[in-house]
Structure 1
Amino acid sequence: MGTREDEVRGTAVVVTVVMMVVLIVVQLSVIAALDLPLGSPDVVLIVLIFVALARGPLFGAVVGFAVGLIADLLSTHVLGQTAMVFCLVGYGVGLAHGETGRTAHLPMAAAAAASALGTAGHAALAGILGNASLAGTQVLLRSVGAALYSLVLTPFLFPLVMAGMRRLHRDQP
C-alpha cells in the first residue's frame, strides 16, 4: 500500500470536485462571456493542473475524469470528450508531483504546456469524433492563447490551490 500522500481519499476527491463544479459554473457563465483575444482562459483546466501537481497522478486523473464528465453534461459536445482530456491531463501533470517543491518554474511551465496540450487535445478529439469546430490555425492560436492565459493566471491561482490542497490534506484522517 502507498504512503498516505499517494492514496486517493474519497472525501478529498468529493470536496475537490465540488469546488471545481463551482469553477465550471463561473467558467460557463462569466469567463466564457468575456470577449478576449485568442479565446477565453480555461480556469477549470488550469486549476486541475495545480490539483494534479499538488496530489499526484491518480488523484489528478480521478478528479479530472469526474470534473470533465460534469463539464460534458453541461455542454453540447460528445459526452466523455472533456472527461478524457481532463483525465489524461490530470494524470500526465500529476507525474511531476514530486518535483513541485524543487523549482518555482515548474507550475508555470506545467500550466502553460498542459493548457496548450489540453486545448489542442480537445480540438483533436472533437475532430476524431466528427465534431470539429476549429481549423488547424485556429487550434494553434487557441493553444497559444491557453498557454499565455495560464502563464498570467498561475501566480494568482497556484498559491490558492496549493493552500486549499494542503488544508484538505491536513483535515483528512
Structure 2
Amino acid sequence: MILNRILLSASLVVVALIFQVTVLARLQLPGAVPDLLLLVVLGLALVYGHTAGALVGFAAGLLADIAPPADHAVGRYALVLCVIGYAAGLTKPENGQHRSATVPMLVVASAAISSTLLYAGVGALVGDTAARQVGLTGLLITATIYDLLLAPFTVPLIMALARRSERDPLGDGAGAGGGSASGGDRTYGWLTSGAELGGGSGGLFGGRRGKNGAGIGSQRGTLLGRSARNKAGKIKGVKRL
C-alpha cells in the first residue's frame, strides 16, 4: 500500500508540474497562475491524511523550487505546500471519504488563499518583494478563482485514483482466504461438534446408540439373550415330548 502511494503521488506530481510549467504558465492570465500542483497535493492529502499530505506537499514543493524557470529560494514553496498538505489532511473524516463536495471545495479555496499568503510571507522574510509589486490582493483573488475553476476537473479524479491505490489486491485475496479459512473453521467446528456429541450424547454415530439406549454392544447382547431364550424354549419343549 505504501509503494502504491509513493508511485501514484510521484507520477501525479511530475505530470502536474510539467503541465503547469509548459501549459498553464504560458497562458499569460492576469494575476496568478493556476496552481495545478497545489490541487494534486490537496487531492492526495484529502485521502491519505495529514502525515502523507505533508510529505507529498514537501516533495512537490521542493521539486517546484528546483524546476526551471524557478526564480526564488529553494525550499520556499516546499515549506508552503508542506503546511498546506498537513492542514488539508486534517480534514479527512474517520471513514476516509467526504460525503459531499462542499468540504473539498472549501479546502481548495482556503488553500489557494493560504498558500499565496504563506508564499508572500516567506518571501518577505528572505527579502523577496515581488508579491508587493504585483499586488497581493489581486494575486489572492485570481489564485482563488483559478484554483476553484480548475478544482472540479482535477481534485475528484485525483481522490478517486488515491482511493483506488488504497485497495490492496493481496489484502483482498487475504480477505477471501480469510473467508475460506472461516468456512474451514466452520467445517472443522461441525466435525468437532459431532465429536463432542459423540462423547456426550452419542455424536454422529453415537446418536444411534443413544436412541436405542444401549448402543451396538447392548443390541448384540439383547439379540444373544433372545436367541438363548429361544434355544432354551426349544430344549424344554423337547424334554416335554
| Residues in 1 aligned to 2:169 and 2:19: alpha-carbon distance in whole angstroms | 27
Which of the residues 20, 24, 28 maps onto 1:27? 20
| Correspondence 1:1-173 to 2 at 5 A | 9-74=2-67, 75-98=70-93, 100-135=97-132, 138-171=135-168
Residue in 2 that maps onto 1:4: none
Say which is worse superposed, 10-19 or 159-168, in terms of deviation: 10-19
Maintained 8 Å contact 1:57/1:90: yes
Unaligned runs of 5+ in 2: 171-241
The structure whose Rg is larger is 2
| Residues in 2 aligned to 1:69 and 1:137: alpha-carbon distance in whole angstroms | 24
Detail structure 1 runs of 4+ shifted over 4 Å in the superposition: none
Q: 1:148 to 1:164 in 2, by over 3 A?
A: same
| Residues in 1 aligned to 2:20 and 2:33: alpha-carbon distance in whole angstroms | 9
Q: 1:172 to 1:54 in 2, by over 3 A?
A: farther
How far 1:136 sits from its partner (Å)?
Answer: 7.3
How many pairs align? 166
| Residues in 1 aligned to 2:3 and 2:71: alpha-carbon distance in whole angstroms | 29
Maintained 8 Å contact 1:23/1:44: yes
Question: 1:73-123: CA deviations, max 9, x gaps?
Answer: 112211110110000000001100117523321111110111111012111
- TM-score using structure 1 length: 0.87
Maintained 8 Å contact 1:12/1:172: no
| Residues in 1 aligned to 2:169 and 2:85: alpha-carbon distance in whole angstroms | 21
Q: 1:167 to 1:125 in 2, by over 3 A?
A: same
| Residues in 2 aligned to 1:60 and 1:136: alpha-carbon distance in whole angstroms | 32
Residue in 1 that maps onto 2:200: none
CA RMSD of aligned residues (A): 1.9
SS state at 2:127 partner = coil
Task: Kindly provide the amino acid, as one letter, of the partner of residue 110 in structure 1.
Answer: V
RCO higher in 1 or 2 (8 Å CA, sep ≥ 6)? 1
Task: Kindly provide the amino acid, as one letter, of the partner of residue 162 in structure 1.
Answer: M
How far 1:10 sits from its partner (Å)?
Answer: 4.3
Unaligned runs of 5+ in 1: 1-7
SS state at 1:97 partner = coil
| Residues in 2 aligned to 1:41 and 1:108: alpha-carbon distance in whole angstroms | 15
How far 1:17 sits from its partner (Å)?
Answer: 2.1
SS state at 1:40 partner = coil
Maintained 8 Å contact 2:4/2:166: no
| Residues in 1 aligned to 2:18 and 2:139: alpha-carbon distance in whole angstroms | 21
SS state at 1:134 partner = helix
Q: 1:137 to 1:31 in 2, by over 3 A?
A: closer
Structure with a larger share of its residues in helix: 2
